[in-house]
Amino acid sequence: MAILNILRSNWFIIGIVLVIILAKFEPGIGSKGGILKPEITVKYFAVFIIFFNSGLSLKTEEFTKAIFQVKIHIFIQGFTFIIFPLLMQTMAILLSPGPFDRHLIEGLKVLGCMPPPVSSAVILTKAAVGNEAAAIFNSAFGSFLGIFMTPSLILMVVGSQADVPITTIIVQLCLTVVVPLVTGQVVRHFVRVWLDRTHIPFGSIGSGILLVIIYTTFCDTFSHQDVNLDAINLMSIILFIVIIQSILLTLIFAVSTWKVTGFQSADCPALMFCATHKSLTLGIPIIKIIFSGDPTMSVITIPLLVYHPTQILIGSLIVPFLRGWLLTQRKHRNSITRNV
């Protein structure tokens, strides 16, 4: 019975391990062009369900309130498009004299220019019971800014030139983010009483979809056989990305919980995930456009290919800690309020 309780309470972490093993065993099933067709089922349907789910479960007044949380927006977007690119540029300079492949270092610079993702940060924030509304707004807004900012930043740090299909990316963002979110809010308006009475497990639904995304992401990563890179370089970049993500997540947690900053405890997961996560969905198409015809493109994409599944994996592992910490904070706050 105790074992069942442990399995039940840790099903998500166990699920992560299982889907990664499955992806490694047969990556062709969930990679692009595979049986699951993630370029359609995940890119459109899974992401649509995620934001419809968010729109359905999110109270309209909370989302409206999030739009005016300017301090959060400035922190996340400033970190994404100023601090992170400068950090990666600095690390690239420091690593240049070392044994790293030159094109791999270029890939680190490109990684720093990427916009936030439109799904993983939202799901993880929701799973941690954080400020989901702020995560939704900043993921969507950051992705929109990335259409213009990411190519410009890449041109500054790498020097390539390309025309980015802005209209196509905007339409895709509207279809996968704005439309399902608005649809969910409209449906919620009509079934709000039923939703409050039914208590649908929106968090578990989002976590289940995240497992599918993790599976297809790792399938796509494991299926890239055209990458010409030695094992030492590959292991070094994986270790570097794990370390840099861990440091950034710890740093943002410390900053967001520092009373001087004035952030609420619920803002912490949104700040951590939105500011540090990078979009593979928007990033790869932009890289392919800017580096079209470049024989080193496969190596340049490696840091992003490694960073994307790593951010989901590390984020998923720290969600239980964040959720427990947030619940403790709320109990403490409620206790103080009752005593007053």
- Whether 134 maps to a domain, the answer reads yes
Alpha-carbon 209 to chain mean position: 14
* pLDDT value at residue 252: 96
Looking up residue 259, the CATH number of its domain turns out to be 1.20.1530.20
Residue 291 lies in a domain: yes
Q: How far apart are CA 223 and CA 263, in angstroms?
A: 41
Query: In the prediction, which pLDDT does 9 show?
Result: 64
pLDDT at position 335 is: 67
pLDDT of residue 144: 78
Is residue 254 situated within a structural domain?
yes
- The pLDDT, as a whole number, for residue 237 is 87
pLDDT at residue 337 in the model: 60
Q: Is residue 313 part of a domain?
A: yes
In terms of residue numbers, what domain contains 169?
Answer: 11-327
Residue numbers in the chain where pLDDT is lower than 50: none
Strand, helix or coil for residue 57? helix
- pLDDT, tens digit, 9 for 90 and up, residues 259-283: 888 899 999 999 999 999 998 767 7
- The pLDDT, as a whole number, for residue 71 is 93
Residues 30/215, Cβ–Cβ less than 8 Å: yes
Q: What is the pLDDT of residue 1?
A: 61
Q: Tokens in use for 77?
A: 């977007």
**Residue 165: its pLDDT value, please?**
61
User: Could you report the per-residue pLDDT of 161-170, keeping only the tens digit for each?
Assistant: 555 566 766 6
CA atoms of 81 and 114, how far apart (whole Å) = 8
323 in any annotated domain? yes
Residues 6+ apart with CB under 8 A from 335: none
| 184 lies in some domain | yes
In a domain, 338, yes or no: no
Q: Do 107 and 299 contact (CB within 8 A), yes or no?
A: yes
Does residue 234 form part of some domain? yes
* CA neighbor of 151 nearest in space, from 141, 143, 160, 138: 160
Q: How many domains does the chain have?
A: 1
Q: Which is nearest to 43 in space by CA: 167, 137, 169, 127?
A: 169
Question: CA separation (Å) from 59 to 20, 174, 326?
Answer: 34, 21, 19
Are 300 and 294 within 8 A, CB to CB?
yes
End-to-end CA distance of the chain: 42
pTM summary value: 0.73
